[in-house]
Each structure stands twice: as C-alpha cells, then as structure tokens.
Structure 1
Amino acid sequence: MNFFAVTTIVYALAFFMPIILQGSLGYSVKKTFLMSAPPACAAVPWVMFCSWAADKWRTRSLFIILNALVGIIGLMIVAYATNGEARYFGIFMGLAGANANIPPALAWQANNIRGQSLRMVASGLQVGFGAVGGIYASTVFMEKDAPAYRTGLWAVTGAQLYLILSTCLMLLHYCRQNKKANRGEIILEGLDSFRYTY
C-alpha cells in the first residue's frame, strides 16, 4: 500500500506537469513539453544520493519520510504560488521527492522479506499497488479546478501524508520486532540472524 502513495505523486506530476506549466506560464504546447524535461533531469542527482545514502546507512524509512516531505513542499508551492516561476520550482521539488522515494520503497520491501516465492508475490503486489497509484493520480485532477488544480494537489498530498504515517508505523513495528529478536524472544523470518531493515 505504501508504493501506491509513492507512485501517486510520480504519476500526478508526470501526467499533469505539462498542463500546469501551460496554464501557469502561458507557454506554447511545444515549449511546455520541452520545459517538462528539466525537472526530471534535475531530480536525478537527488535520487542517486538518496539511494546511495539509504543503502550505505541501511535505512529506508527515514529517506521515505524525508522525500515525502520534500514532495509535499513542492506540491504546496505548485498549489499556492501565484507566480508561474515559483510553481515551476515547486515541480522541481515535487519531482525530486517523488522520484527519490521509488528506490527506497522498492528496496525496503525486498530487504524485509525472506524466501524467493514470498518475495516474488510481494514484489508483484507492490508493483500492482503502484499501478493503482497511477490510476488514482489520473482521476483527481479535474478541468473545473484549473489552473491551480488544488483539489488534485491536495489529493496527492493526502497520499504523501498517508505514506509518512504508514512508514512511521512500520518503522516502530520493525524496531520492536528487532528488539525482541535481539533479546531472543522471537526468531524473525525463520532465521536467527535476520533483522528487519528500517
């Protein structure tokens, strides 16, 4: 279900960035699509850094929360800025947070499930929920909300707030389970040395 929230903002910005840009900045269709590329390209270094750091420090949840917050800030700038250039900057932030959450979300699931069969099923479900995030994102932006699209932006923000809450709950659960395993009270995933990544 977390991956649903992760992909919601990715799809929302991918589908509606050109519409928001054209309405805010008054660009031609051609220039609008050309201006859609820089935010995605600018997000790449942040995505690479977050992926590297999450792997190096073996923590996924903190990066998911951080990037959800970055995404929310970007969405709120897009929703409430009156200046077209400021809205464009919000898209940069939103895309950076959105895209940087994909690697840690995928890795977190894979890190915390043992067994090839179970991991395959979990990965399939995760990708399926990600597709549902795309469907959700494509239905919340309505023409009547143009040019600000606040309803759609708040719907996507709600998904990010859900992501933060559910990540915090999973973090607490994994910490508790690891502490119990360290005390010898339980065996995690059928292996004495296994500990959840959080």
Structure 2
Amino acid sequence: MPRDASHLLLRALRAATDALGVELPGVELRCVNRIPHARGLGSSAATIVSGIAAGYALAGREPDESALDLAARFEGHADNVAASMVGVYVPRPVHPDALELLAGHGRVVPGYGDGAVPFEQVADTVEAVLLRTAELRAPSIDRAPRLRVISRHGVGVDTVDVAVATARGIPVCVTPAANTLAVAEHAVALLLSASRSE
C-alpha cells in the first residue's frame, strides 16, 4: 500500500476538500480496511467513501447527496460507492456471517449489544432496515426520510407497517424459503418427541 499522497484515501480526501473549498491541514492518517483487496468486494469504494467523509468532517459538514455524487464521480461506479454510504440498521442480532456480508457493502448500525444505537439517533441517515422479530411501525418509518427498503429475515410482514411503507414507495421484502428446512426439521422433532411421550 502506498504511504504517500498517492494513497487512495488521501486522494479522495483531497478531492472532497477541494470540492468544498477547504484547505487540507497537515494530517496523519491511519487506515484499517478489513475488506479483502482485489476481489471485487468493495475495498476501494469503502476507502473512497472514507476519504470523502473525512473531507466533509474537516469542512464541518455531514456527508449528503453531494458527497455521494462526488464519490461516484471519483470512483466511476455509483453502485459501488452508494453501497458503502448506505446505512443498514439491524435492531436485533443476526448471524455474524450476515453482518460480515453487509459490512462489506455498507455501513451496518447495530441496535443491540454493547454498541447498540437507538433507531432515533440514525433515522435521518438510515436507508435500509434488516428485521428478524423487531417491529418497524409508522412513527419509525416516518422518522427515516432516506429509508429505501425494509427487509425481513423470514416470512410474514406483521411486524412492519406495510401500508405506510407502500405509501412512501418503500418495498418490504421477505425471505420466504430461508427457514423452510429448519421449520420442517423442528416439526419432525416435535412429532418424534410427542410419539415417545405416550
């Protein structure tokens, strides 16, 4: 990795400060990127977004649509950088492999555990919500102006205010076959247990 001004993060940072008319002060950067390089998993896009976000921070601004436009022009593929800027809110635990996959494509905001963030704190920036058993009702949906998709890990949408989401043009997705095998195994195990108890 380059350790000079040719580093991708520094080039993106400089692009942001130039665009915002901010003089880049002397900075010392420490970069940690856990996304594997050269595999098409988004490490370059994440680095670009980090540099541009740092530029906006130096300007005292939150990254907005103009930051996304700048990142897309810099990277050349809007879909790559958009995935790195999108915030996915996960209110309850999901499998670590799923979180790792999500983190490789965007910012994951947990609503549980030691680093739990209340939805209200990130509602302005969250663009996706991944649910298991948590509810997402009208007040929360209304509080999230950038929300683009609600996804349920499982079937059924009784925990989501679908009418409000639909009125906003927000798709509500489910994974209809994801738990089929587990449910069948559980049903057979219950049948076996019931037959032994008689």
Relative to the length of structure 2, the TM-score reads 0.23
TM-score (norm 1): 0.23
Structure ranking higher in strand proportion: 2
More helix by share: 1
Q: Rg: which structure is higher?
A: 2
